[in-house]
Amino acid sequence: MIQVLIVEDDPMVAEINRRYVESIEGFTCVGIVSGVSDALHFLESHAVDLVLLDIFMPGKNGLEFLSEIRKKGSSVGVIVISAASDIANIKTALRLGAVDYLIKPFEFQRLQAAFRAYQREHQLLSEQEELTQDKLDQLLLHPANQPASRELPKGLTKETLQRVVKAISTMGDDFFSTEKLADQVGVSRVSMRKYLKFLTELGYLSLDLHYRPAGRPLHLYRMQKSRAEVLKPYLEAAD
């Protein structure tokens, strides 16, 4: 489980980010702090893998926090989430080792993509002492610049993927739930979640969280027609 610290001075934004973190499999929020000093103290006494960092806060700002932890030799991952969209702040954050930079307001799937990219890097670097060039390129090269693989994640089949995509196409621009699609395709909800996770990570689906008075948020998906091309290598391989 990847331990996430949220550094955000707006309580409402911090709570939304906490809900986002808790809704992504493999991640858990271990703390929320409202300033740089509290964040530094938290890191000294808690195990943290990833920090969601705002820039503009009372006292020291987020970039000063980044600078301080790097001077101390900390390799904790940092994703900046800020309204600051100027090139100077973005360049500084990246130069100080931020693994990603999200400009407020952002869509949930963009945060999810950032988390999944960090998760792949975290797992790869944790499991191996040495890397081949191919493995290193997975970390250093942007996924859009790499040739698409026809291999599906473990547990998915090309034939079922075709059925899932065909069912999604009948939804048009409407949102749909895991349960609704699972019933239409004729597979279990557990199995359908795996396909929806894969399609969301590809960008073929967008994901919206609908919060209810009690319980976990409802996951609703919608097809992104402009991203249909990303599926071609997988669907062609199934013919």
> pLDDT by residue (tens digit) across 141-158?
544 444 444 577 788 998
pLDDT(3) > 90: yes
Mean of pLDDT values over 165-178: 93
Residue span of the structural domain in which 197 resides: 158-237
Asked if residue 132 is part of any domain, the answer here is no
For the purposes of burial, counting CB atoms within 10 Å of the CB of 146, is it exposed (0-12), middle (13-18) or buried (19 or more)?
exposed
Same domain membership, residue 215 and residue 117: no
> pLDDT by residue (tens digit) across 12-52?
999 999 999 999 888 999 999 999 999 999 999 999 999 99
Same domain membership, residue 109 and residue 174: no
pLDDT, residue 146, reads 43
pLDDT, residue 207, reads 86
pTM over 0.85: no
Asked if residue 58 is part of any domain, the answer here is yes
Asked if residue 178 is part of any domain, the answer here is yes
Asked if residue 148 is part of any domain, the answer here is no
Residue reference for tokens 């960092």: 53
Query: In CATH, what number is assigned to the domain containing residue 162?
Result: 1.10.10.10
CA angle 3, 70, 98 (to 5 degrees): 60
Asked if residue 7 is part of any domain, the answer here is yes
> pLDDT by residue (tens digit) across 100-136?
999 988 888 888 888 988 888 887 777 667 767 766 6
Same domain membership, residue 112 and residue 16: yes
Query: In CATH, what number is assigned to the domain containing residue 9?
Result: 3.40.50.2300
Asked if residue 143 is part of any domain, the answer here is no
C-alpha 197/C-alpha 2 separation (Å) is: 18
C-alpha 53/C-alpha 71 separation (Å) is: 17
